């Protein structure tokens, strides 16, 4: 541990995922004393239509 | 918040996801006083073989 | 299946949880043809300080 | 219940998923008295680049 | 990885959790070639009233 | 969205949680163009005995 799950609508590039993983792992070490080697991060990239905010699917166009 | 994750085996149509999101967001506002704009809902649609009940993968045919 | 996880900041009364479970289970049956007996719902009630929106913990007072 | 979510990087064969489901469902019955029919297990198979350990995406080659 | 989340209603003893962790970690190594040191398992023990099956909270008495 | 769930064994202080939320929300805006107001972060702080690594519960003393 820690285990972090990051869920977004749409996709991220490999470079974006690598940069987020680098910064978040650093944050958890610096702020919470979690050794970098312990941190697992998973990314879930969901289609827009699998995410709803305020009762509307994203990309609804209305 | 709230954040709701709905996981099903198989797929849902866009219309089914929209209807579920509409009704659930309404339920959370009406029953629990959560403003609609706060509610996030994500849907995960899993292949049958990624779901087991009673120790058997769905679609096992036995 | 389906499995639904509902996460809120703060607490819900037993009556609120029962009403949400009743309505959501009904929605999933009516809209998505999921038999009521298949639906599992879990509720996670988090302390305000374990939830951040826009980079601020809830209940921050600022 | 119980509900178990198993997340791996890469893929599992159908046979691997079936065997894991069989053994885990048996473990939960034998060790924790959970009837087999109650146990739901879901598998999430993530691309290597959606998983980071120690701040590096899997399959980074460095 | 793998990361496994086990959610139950009610509590498990420390011995039950240790036994489940031992067996599941062994299963993942033997069946799916996941080195034991890679496997993280977390347990969430929920109050009965935070779990609904078939639209009824557990422990409803009806 | 995004929705991020951070799970740790043990507890974090309010200040640690606030700092992690600040930095991660900033990272997601800067790296992935996610407006700060869209980002939800939840923290789950688990007892040591609810977390296993390599088949052993944390705090096992062996």
Answer yes or no: is pLDDT of A62 > 60.
no
Q: Where are the domains of chain F?
A: 3-52
Are the Cβ atoms of E9 and D16 closer than 8 angstroms?
no
A51/B43 CB distance under 8 A? yes
Residues D8 and D24: their CA atoms lie apart, in Å, by: 16
CB contact set of F50 (below 8 Å; sequence gap of 6+): E17, E42, E43, E44, E45, F9, F57
| Homologous superfamily of the C3-49 domain (CATH) | Macrophage Migration Inhibitory Factor (3.30.429.10)
3-state SS string for D23-58: HHHHHHHHHHCCCHHHCEEEEEEECHHHEEECCEEC
Q: Residue F62: pLDDT above 90?
A: no
Note the pLDDT of residue C1.
84
Closest partner residue to A16 among F12, F20, F31, by Cβ? F31
Q: Which superfamily, per CATH, for F3-52? A: Macrophage Migration Inhibitory Factor (3.30.429.10)
* Tokens, residue C16: 């609120």
Q: Give the mean model confidence (pLDDT) for residues A45-56.
A: 98
Residue range F34-59, pLDDT digits in tens: 999 999 999 999 999 999 999 999 98
For C21-61, the pLDDT digits (tens) are 999 999 999 999 999 999 999 999 999 999 999 999 998 75
| Beta-ladder partners of A48 | none
Q: Domain E3-50 falls in which CATH fold?
A: Macrophage Migration Inhibitory Factor (3.30.429)
Reading across the β-sheet that carries C3-9, which strands appear in turn?
A56-57, A51-53, B40-46, B3-9, C3-9, C40-46, E51-53, E56-57
Percent above pLDDT 70 for chain B: 97
The residue count for chain D: 62
- pLDDT category at D1 given cuts 50, 70, 90 is confident
* Short-list C28, D13, A60, CA closest to B10: C28
A12, closest residue in chain D (CA to CA): D50
Q: What is the pLDDT of residue D40?
A: 98
Q: Which of E2, E20, E51 sits opposite D7 (nearest CB)?
A: E2
pLDDT in tens, F14-39: 999 999 999 999 999 999 999 999 99
């Amino acid at each position: 541990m820690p285990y972090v799950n990051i869920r977004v609508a749409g996709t991220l590039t490999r470079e974006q995922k690598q940069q987020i993983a680098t910064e978040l792992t650093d944050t958890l070490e610096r702020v919470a004393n979690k050794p970098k080697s312990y941190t697992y991060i998973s990314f879930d990239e969901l289609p827009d239509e699998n995410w709803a905010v305020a009762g509307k699917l994203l990309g609804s166009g209305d």
